[in-house]
Amino acid sequence: MSRPPKLAQLPMLDGVGASAVACPPGPWPLALDFLAERLPRVERQDWRARMARGEVLDAAGRPLAPDTPYRANTRLYYYRLLAHEDAIPFEERILFRDELLLVADKPHFLPVTPKGRYVQQTLLTRLKKATGLATLTPIHRIDRETAGLVLFSIRPETRDAYQSLFRERAVAKVYEAIAPYRQDLALPMVYRSHLRERAGDAFMQMEELSGEPPNAETAIALLERLPQGLARYELRPATGQKHQLRAQLSALGLPIVGDRIYPTLQPEQAVPDYRRPLQLLAREIGFVDPCSGERRRFESGLRLGC
């Protein structure tokens, strides 16, 4: 098998890097036949058009024509593009950039990485287009509905050093949320629980299990009371379970304003209601830089408001 090129060495197409698919032994006469069967979400005529435009590459990075014979035990590279994407009407902002690290402020509703019906309208693709950095990779993620800080690695050789900070819980993260006020809840507090994904149709939700050792911990403090029975809370998660802050606040009777998953999972909207964002903000992040030894602290320029 020919040695595949590094994806970062292949050109970007409209801010999107190349994806790879392995070619096993099989009966396909043409590379087009293989792609149409293996990746059926893209119709055959669309694959033909992409190949005619030079958007499917071989293991050496050369464009493949629609009549190219299929070769087993190689790789094909293609660009994930959607026929139509609705624009998300909010802009990201780069807060910091040096040779190794980029820090961005992500608005509500914008996904961090391409997935499902979002490719161009993602933070990663927008930043790649703005900077020309094909190697840009998120060090961590926040939910599409959440606004605030996201860190990106620029150089592949130092990427793992930064990602290890999150694996080893060596990052201090501070969030803000707007949720109902509970006079009977003693704050500040450290809330611990065991979270797991629900089974069945509600798999998007996390649920708390009693009698299990805690795997999620969050320090919660009241920042201020707000009108209409609401309050602003500061959240300092010590762990990073899926939907941790949203699930734990909901379990405390404090569902975050604008949350369409907790406490009740609501149907996904074809077009989000941009007037009602989730009132959750990744406000601050701090750590000791593993490459320079410097103490770093970043703060979002975004603010919550109902």
* pLDDT tens for each residue of 3-19: 555 554 787 888 888 88
Among residues 105, 98, 99, 92, the alpha carbon closest in space to that of 299 is found at 105
- Looking at residue 203, what is its pLDDT? 64
Regarding whether 281 and 183 lie in a shared domain, the answer is: yes
The model's pLDDT over 78-118, given as tens digits with 9 standing for 90+, comes to 988 766 788 899 999 999 999 999 999 999 999 999 887 88
Q: Are residues 160 and 237 in the same domain?
A: yes
Q: Report how many domains make up the chain.
A: 2
Contact 152, 127 (CB under 8 A): yes
- Domain presence at residue 39: yes
| pLDDT at residue 186, rounded to an integer | 94
List the end-to-end C-alpha distance of the chain, in Å, as a whole number. Answer: 57
When pLDDT is cut at 50, 70 and 90, the band that residue 270 belongs to is confident
Does residue 148 share a domain with residue 62? no
Residues 15 and 113 reside in one and the same domain: no
Indicate whether 129 and 216 sit together in one domain: yes
Does residue 85 fall inside a structural domain?
no
Q: Where are the alpha helices (DSSP H) in 39-132?
A: 44-52, 123-131
Domain identity same for 147 and 180: yes
d(CA 13, CA 19): 11
Q: Please say which residue of 79, 113, 131 terminates a domain.
A: 79
Mean pLDDT to the nearest integer, 63-68: 95
- Looking at the structure, tell me whether residues 101 and 57 fall in a common domain: no
Give the number of residues written for the chain: 306
- Assigned domain for 15 exists: yes
Cα 254 to Cα 1, 161, 168, 219, 274: the distances in Å are 56, 36, 29, 14, 22
b vs e for 12-28, b when ≥16 Cβ sit within 10 Å of the residue's Cβ?
beebbbbeeeebeeeeb
Cβ-based neighbour number of residue 251 at 10 Å: 17
pLDDT in tens, 134-171: 899 999 999 999 999 999 999 999 999 999 999 999 99
Q: Is the pLDDT of residue 202 over 70?
A: no
Domain boundary among 45, 79, 113: 79
**238-253 pLDDT, tens per residue?**
999 999 999 999 999 9
* Domain co-membership, 183 together with 37: no
Check whether 217 has a pLDDT greater than 80: yes
Instruction: Evaluate whether 243 touches 256 at the Cβ level (below 8 Å).
Output: no
Closest to 122 measured CA to CA, from 163, 85, 176: 85
Q: How many degrees, rounded to 5, is the angle at CA 172 between CA 169 and CA 178?
A: 120
Considering the domain architecture, whether residues 149 and 42 belong to the same structural domain is answered as: no
What pLDDT, in 10s, does the model give residues 19-44? 899 999 999 999 999 999 999 988 89
Check if the beta carbon of residue 23 is closer than 8 Å to that of residue 74: yes
In a domain, 267, yes or no: yes
Mean pLDDT taken over the chain? 92
- Which residue range forms the structural domain that includes residue 30? 7-79
Give the confidence band of 1 by pLDDT, cuts at 50, 70, 90.
Answer: very low
- 20 lies in some domain: yes
Cα angle 56-270-248, degrees, rounded to a multiple of 5: 105
Q: Is 2 a domain residue?
A: no
CA distance 32 to 28: 8
Instruction: Kindly report the pTM of this predicted structure.
Output: 0.84
Q: Are residues 30 and 116 in the same domain?
A: no
| 108 and 213 together in one domain | yes
User: Do 191 and 252 form a contact (C-beta atoms < 8 A)?
Assistant: yes
> Quick one: pLDDT at residue 4?
52
DSSP string covering 181-239, please? --TTS-SSEEEEE-EEEPPGGGTTSEEE-TTS---EEEEEEEEEEETTTEEEEEEEESS
Confidence class for position 294, pLDDT limits 50, 70, 90: very high
What is the per-residue pLDDT for 6?
Answer: 53
CATH number at residue 71: 3.10.290.10
Q: Taking Cα atoms as reference points, which of 152, 85, 94 lies closest to residue 121?
A: 85
d(CA 304, CA 87): 22
235 and 185 part of one domain: yes
